[in-house]
Amino acid sequence: MESKEILRGFTFLRKLMIANSNLTRLSTAFPSEMQFLEVENVLAKCLLESNRKLCLDFVKKINVTDTKLRSLPKDAFSNLRTLRWLDLRNNTLGEINITAFDIPALKHIYLAGNPLRCTEDVAWILDSSEGSAASKVVDKDKLLCATPYDGRPLVPIVEIIATLKKECKKTVCDCELIYVVGAGKLTQRQLIAFTSVNCSHRGLMEMPNFLPADTTTLRLSGNKIKDLTPLTTNPAYKSVRDLYIDDNLVESIARLEGSDWLDRFRLLNLRGNKLTDVSWPMSKLSDVTREDNLFRMTDVGMRKNCSELISCGTLPTYALENALLHNNNVAGLYLGNNSWACDCHFTPSFQDLLIRHSNIIKDINDIRCAFTSDSDNSNKQIRDLTRTEICISPDEDSWLHPLDILNIVLASLIFLVLGKLLYDYWSFKKTGKLPWIVAKIP
């Protein structure tokens, strides 16, 4: 709308209202050479047809409501030195340049009903100092955000974003407010925020000591982190649910055993680390039944009880198994591209865990035995290995074992005894003589 051209010729209009029209933008500021007494209710269509002169020096009130107005020039009202009341409700304003409100006489601004984008650029709404643009907005409590926080109260959301930006500066990471739960007239404390913090490829040697409040997703991919202890000891990680720590140097997850974090995480990505097994300290043996302790390896004719493993100080996969069974929130676990050990001590129970939780372990096809030149299982999928492949080494895998030889000898002796018995019976029937050994018995 070219305000200068439309308003040319109006004389002594008292009020101006542009409402229920298809107006999309004001291309220029209201002209300074015109002088309003007060801008009155005149529809845009009427403005186009009128032919009266008018002055803008004395305008006090402007209403532009229920239109398709998308933007305002930063100097839209700069020539209206006496403007006191500005109603911009129910338009399609996504962003507002507060320079447009830099009018000393302006006291009342109405903005409700606009799809405002809640970003850090709207932080001006938090400035409540006297004379600020925010202090002039009468209906702040009615302002709502557009996508992605659609329908959420604007002021609390902007408070969260401003706090996040301030806290993020204390880290070397990038921070983003992903989602907010809660609607209506709620305060910042009553909203539940979900924040993503990206610290990937920062050359970190350890997990950050500080995280912004409400960090639910933490990305630490491509660093040089070895230790996961902060997950269990640092309160900053209390709200972290999704952890991406792939392509690091993690060698063990034993520190997570028995932790609250392991019982409430949603996603854990450990791809491409230095893991070889998931053995755990035996601190919770009392939680395991004797029946759970026993596993059998029938292919080699032997049994091992957990009591044998205690001397080694580990119980393979138990704590991880326990967490997956009791954590109702878990949605994904990634363990691929690690150099997993494939031996008779660790692999059978680990393989059982993979099969039982294949719906949770998302990269099961990438969980393979470590690549070694002297092993037949090198780079094979652990899920598909047989017990014989796992527990019998190539040196032992001959067609004849010592136990087989013993069994053959025993079977031969049994047949020899049975044959001698049948012969003695036949000889007694025919000749009436007792077997030689019976005749010698006194």
DSSP state of 30: P
441 HSE (CA, 13 A, CB side): 5
**Mean pLDDT for the chain overall:** 80
Token pair belonging to 5: 């051209």
Q: Does residue 311 surpass a pLDDT of 90?
A: no
Does pLDDT of 22 surpass 90? no
pLDDT tens for each residue of 353-400: 999 999 999 999 999 999 988 888 899 999 999 988 888 765 555 556
Mean pLDDT of 217-221: 98
Q: Per-residue pLDDT tens for 24-63? A: 776 666 655 444 433 333 333 333 334 333 444 467 888 9
Parallel/antiparallel/unpaired status of strands 215-219 and 295-297: unpaired
| Mean pLDDT computed over 69-90 | 88
pLDDT band at 312 (very low <50, low <70, confident <90, very high): very low
Q: For residue 24, count other CB atoms closer than 10 A to its CB.
A: 14
Mean pLDDT, range 150-161, rounded to an integer = 92
Query: How far apart (Å, rounded) are the C-alpha atoms in residues 68 and 341?
Result: 65
Examine the pLDDT at 318 and tell me if it is beyond 60.
yes
* pLDDT tens profile 333-344: 999 999 998 988
Q: Where is pLDDT greater, at 107 or 7?
A: 107
pLDDT exceeds cutoff 80 at 141 = yes
Q: Tell me which range, 64-78, 202-216, 334-348, is most confidently predicted by mean pLDDT.
A: 202-216
pLDDT of residue 307 exceeding 50, the answer is no
Q: Mean pLDDT over residues 155-173, rounded?
A: 95
Give the pLDDT band (50/70/90) at residue 309: very low
Contact 64, 41 (CB under 8 A): no
pLDDT in tens, 228-262: 999 999 999 999 999 999 999 999 888 888 889 99
Does pLDDT of 322 surpass 90? no
Position with higher pLDDT, 49 vs 112: 112
Q: What is the pLDDT of residue 27?
A: 64
**What is the maximum span of the chain, computed from C-alpha positions, in angstroms?**
152
Say what the pTM is.
Answer: 0.72
- In this model, does residue 109 exceed pLDDT 60? yes
DSSP E strand stretches across 270-312: 295-297, 302-304
Token pair, residue 413, equals 């002796």
CA–CA distance, 40 with 304 (Å, rounded to integer)? 92
**What's the pLDDT score for residue 83?**
87
Ranges 13-27, 72-86, 392-406, most confident: 72-86
Model confidence at 3, in pLDDT bands (50, 70, 90)?
low
pLDDT for the residue 94: 92
Q: Looking at 330-410, which runs of residues are DSSP E strands?
A: 332-334
Task: Show Cβ contacts of residue 255 under 8 Å, excluding neighbours closer than 6 positions.
Answer: 227, 228, 229, 231, 232
Percent of the chain with pLDDT over 70: 75
pLDDT of residue 8: 57
Write the CA distances from 310 to 275, 296, 307, 314, 367, integer angstroms: 21, 17, 5, 6, 27
Can you give the pLDDT at residue 287? 44
